[in-house]
A and B are shown apart, each in its own frame.
Chain A
């Protein structure tokens, strides 16, 4: 009963936190998928030293906590004269980290593409970029969809780390409410439920996206 009263009083104040979380999750996941695709393209284009650089980048971000990148960007950028809002800095850290993971995921997807398709693309006079855009990427994004969905879910949960640099997203929202009302338990249970809902929605979206794919690979990889 006490909880319901609390919810009635403070529930609506989660609105803006939820909005921020959704917004950050959206731009960061789109950004991470685009960045992951760019990294994939660089890796496929096969210049040796460039590949090594990308490899190093991926390993670096895979093996360091994302909170560290958030701090480094938020506190580090002003030192080189770049002052960006916390939302942008935090989101950028998420893009850089998840882009690294996503490029790995997509690289796995490329292996599912029948090599003979590259011959076909060449024989039609497609350029490397044309082949990537028309042949590789559309297939890889589908092959990798389940893993991409998982990665985006991880990203959504990681948006809560932006509370560390005072971005007004859900977790920060709860922290503030705790301070205002002293009801730590209530404040954080509501947030947990909201994250859960977000993830469920994503899960359903990923599944229906996969169902909406109308083609099938020659070897049943889907």
Chain B
């Protein structure tokens, strides 16, 4: 499980994007993050696996504090780089723009993480990668390069690549936003199957119908704070926060 306490983040230009985030995500739980553009959803996700440094607050994974160590006098220091890498390997992230490596085939993309991180025999890594690609419906496209794949296929490779690390949590940032409408379904189908497997997930999405269907809880982020959180039925059908009401009214 992941616990986030008092997370604050200021960009160097002085913009305070996260202003005290408290959030706990249980094992097997799916939490969707919704909110206006610029409310800090992506930044929060990137802070969780430390693609972005943050200024204050604490993130724990199964009780272990992540990324920073307390130093004397209440200060904190970054963990050593190898420790950070080892912790990152326990989390998977999928980006809006897929971010596949263009010079590697689908299979090589999926193999890269585990073969580098776990130092396992190449054959074992490959077997796992093949299995994952089959699972996302790409058994026939393992030798294709990203430029030969549709957006939906690239995004499924990206999901398989994240899963190959056998992560404890999967962070998904608007993974269908860059896709043509007819390709959205195949990606969401993969996510549904992960929900059934009780994968812990934090999902940033604009697809409220999908969020309602799969989330255990939805969190509404407004100006860097979670102003409302609850089960989809409550939050979407009976919102309390006035900005959330406004936000929902404007959604299709």
Contact = CB atoms under 8 A, between A and B. Distances in A.
Interface of A: 114, 116-117, 119-120, 122-127, 130, 134-135, 138-139, 142, 214-218
A46 to B, nearest CB: 14
Given A116-B99, A119-B95, A124-B113, 12 more contacts: A114-B102, A116-B95, A116-B97, A120-B99, A123-B49, A125-B86, A126-B112, A126-B117, A215-B103, A216-B145, A218-B102, A218-B146
B165 interface: yes
Given A119-B95, A125-B85, A125-B117, A216 B102 contact: yes
Contacts of A125: 85-86, 88-89, 113, 116-117, 165
Nearest to B147: A216
A79 B91 CA distance: 58
A154 to B, nearest CB: 27
Contacts of A130: 116
Contact of B145 (A126, A135, A214): A214
A115 B169 CA distance: 24
Contacts, number: 70
A116 B99 CA distance: 6
B145 A124 contact: no
B147 A218 contact: yes
Contact of A123 (B86, B93, B102, B145): B93
Nearest to B90: A125
B184 to A, nearest CB: 20
Contacts of A114: 99, 102
Nearest to B171: A123
Contacts of A135: 101
A218 B104 CA distance: 12
A126 B116 contact: yes
Given A130-B116, A142-B103, A215-B147, A124 B97 contact: no
Interface in B154-182: 161-162, 165
A125 to B, nearest CB: 4
Nearest to A133: B116
A99 B82 CA distance: 31
Please indicate which of the listed interface residues B97, B102, B147 has the most CB atoms of chain A within 10 Å of its own CB.
B102
A122 B103 contact: no
A139 B147 CA distance: 14
A120 B117 CA distance: 14
Interface in B87-141: 88-89, 91-93, 95, 97, 99-104, 112-113, 116-117
